Amino acid sequence: MTRETVRFGHTELPERQVEVLHRAIRLEWITIAFLAVTVTLVFLVLGNSQAMKAAWIEDLLSFIPPIAFLVAVRINRRLPTKRHPYGYHRSVGVGHLVAAVALGTMGTYLIVDSASGLIAAEHPTIGTVELFGTSVWLGWLMIGVMAVIALPPVFIGRAKLKLARELHNKVLYADADMNKADWMTAVGSIVGVTGIGLGLWWLDSTAALFIAGSILWDGLRNLRAAVTDLMDARATTFDDKKPHPVAAQVDEYLRGLPWVAEAGCRVRDEGHVFHIEAFVVPVDGETPSLDTLEEAREACIDIDWKVQDIVLVLTRELPEVVESGAPAETKNSPAA
């Protein structure tokens, strides 16, 4: 990919975003390579520990977000067609949804599995292995592996978090958030294995429950965010913490035009980019020329690279959901 040809649909990415995208892709491939090593190492020392089993399954699930990101980035570069007039940007949302469902399903399974072991008072055992002619307790190998693989995902996750903000990519953000929390899984596994070694059998199942709960929480949180975006809720920032400022910026620009009496827009988050419907009430009800409308439209697109497309709609009064730029849930009457 070159800077001149990198696009999300019709949107050509600015130079900074092209650089960020390349870095994000490299980080995701690094993540996949690291996970391949991690999954192999954990499998080799798995033993009978419920906590280690849960950690291994979490590592397997961790393949989903980076793969979803890489697939979505490739798909949403396609130009809109007659069959897909809005483009393929929803591939990001679909990838987000798939990752969330996988996490939620496996988290639920692991909670049931770990809880049943705890209720049944299963006493897992960890044997010994021959290593270079010496008999070694397998638990030491488990603890060593988990200690080695605990920190790298944290640093990778922090790096992804910055890139997710600049790309407005919620799949990348979900992946980064999971990476940042991976150290807790490693610590939980170490606690579980140590518990078995000390004869505290219940610590292993408890640690497995903690890991399973973390997986389920990630799944439910991301499922809520993915479904909300696919249902065309108000566009938010990449971390879903607040409304995205682009709506207010577009409103402010349009209201500053001499021929505009009032303006308000609603923003649809398509993944990396936005589709915007901007409703404009002209001064004295006079219809502006096509050149004037096109100039305003182009200026709105220039406000932020994420404005993939915008439609200016002339109207006598603003719809209730966009009146004065206020969010729909603050209104007393039903949404228009």
Looking up residue 256, the CATH number of its domain turns out to be 3.30.300.30
Number of Cβ within 10 Å of residue 228's Cβ equals: 15
Regarding whether 112 and 150 lie in a shared domain, the answer is yes
Given this model, what pLDDT does residue 174 score?
A: 83
- Using the 3D structure, point to which of 185, 202, 230 is the last residue of a domain: 230
Cα 260 to Cα 251: distance, rounded to the nearest angstrom: 11
Q: Is the residue at 239 inside a domain? A: no
- Using the 3D structure, point to which of 230, 265, 298 is the last residue of a domain: 230
Supply the Cα-derived Rg of the chain in whole angstroms. Answer: 25
Residue 114 maps to which CATH number? 1.20.1510.10
Q: Given the structure tokens 């006079």, which residue do they identify?
A: 286
Regarding whether 218 and 281 lie in a shared domain, the answer is no
Q: Is the residue at 124 inside a domain? A: yes
β-partners of residue 263 are: 280
Regarding whether 157 and 128 lie in a shared domain, the answer is yes
Q: How far is CA 161 from the centre of its chain?
A: 10
Cα 249 to Cα 149: distance, rounded to the nearest angstrom: 44
Q: Is the residue at 76 inside a domain? A: yes
Q: Is the residue at 93 inside a domain? A: yes
Q: How far is CA 192 from the centre of its chain?
A: 29
Q: Is the residue at 236 inside a domain? A: no
Global confidence as pTM: 0.81
Regarding whether 91 and 204 lie in a shared domain, the answer is yes
Residue type, 279: F
Residue 266 phi, psi (nearest 5): -120, 140
**Segment (H or E) for 312:** strand 307-314
Regarding whether 216 and 293 lie in a shared domain, the answer is no
Cα atoms found within 13 Å of the Cα of residue 296, Cβ hemisphere only: 26
Regarding whether 273 and 178 lie in a shared domain, the answer is no
**CA 221, 226, 229, 235 torsion-angle sign:** positive
Q: Is the residue at 142 inside a domain? A: yes
Regarding whether 46 and 169 lie in a shared domain, the answer is yes
Regarding whether 270 and 197 lie in a shared domain, the answer is no
Listed residue (4, 70, 84, 57) closest to 31, CA to CA: 70
Q: How far is CA 5 from the centre of its chain?
A: 25
Q: Residue 251: which domain range?
A: 246-330
Given this model, what pLDDT does residue 5 score?
A: 58
β-partners of residue 276 are: 267, 310
Regarding whether 169 and 98 lie in a shared domain, the answer is yes
Q: What is the pLDDT along the chain (336 residues), one digit of tens a residue?
A: 444 457 677 777 888 888 999 999 999 999 999 999 999 999 988 878 888 888 888 888 889 889 989 998 888 888 888 888 888 888 888 888 888 888 888 888 888 888 887 787 777 777 777 777 777 778 888 899 989 988 898 899 899 999 999 988 888 888 888 887 778 888 888 888 888 888 887 888 888 888 888 888 888 988 888 888 888 888 888 888 888 999 999 999 999 999 999 999 999 888 788 989 999 999 988 899 999 999 999 999 999 998 878 999 999 989 887 745 433 333 333 333
Given this model, what pLDDT does residue 109 score?
A: 84
- Using the 3D structure, point to which of 230, 263, 278 is the last residue of a domain: 230
Q: Is the residue at 196 inside a domain? A: yes
- Count structural domains, the chain: 2
Q: Is the residue at 62 inside a domain? A: yes
Regarding whether 217 and 87 lie in a shared domain, the answer is yes
Cα 276 to Cα 294: distance, rounded to the nearest angstrom: 15
Regarding whether 290 and 224 lie in a shared domain, the answer is no
Q: Using DSSP bridges, classify how beta strands 128-131 and 134-137 pair: parallel, antiparallel or unpaired.
A: antiparallel
Regarding whether 222 and 308 lie in a shared domain, the answer is no
Q: Given the structure tokens 């879903």, which residue do they identify?
A: 240
* Secondary structure class of 85 (helix, strand, coil): coil
Residue type, 176: A
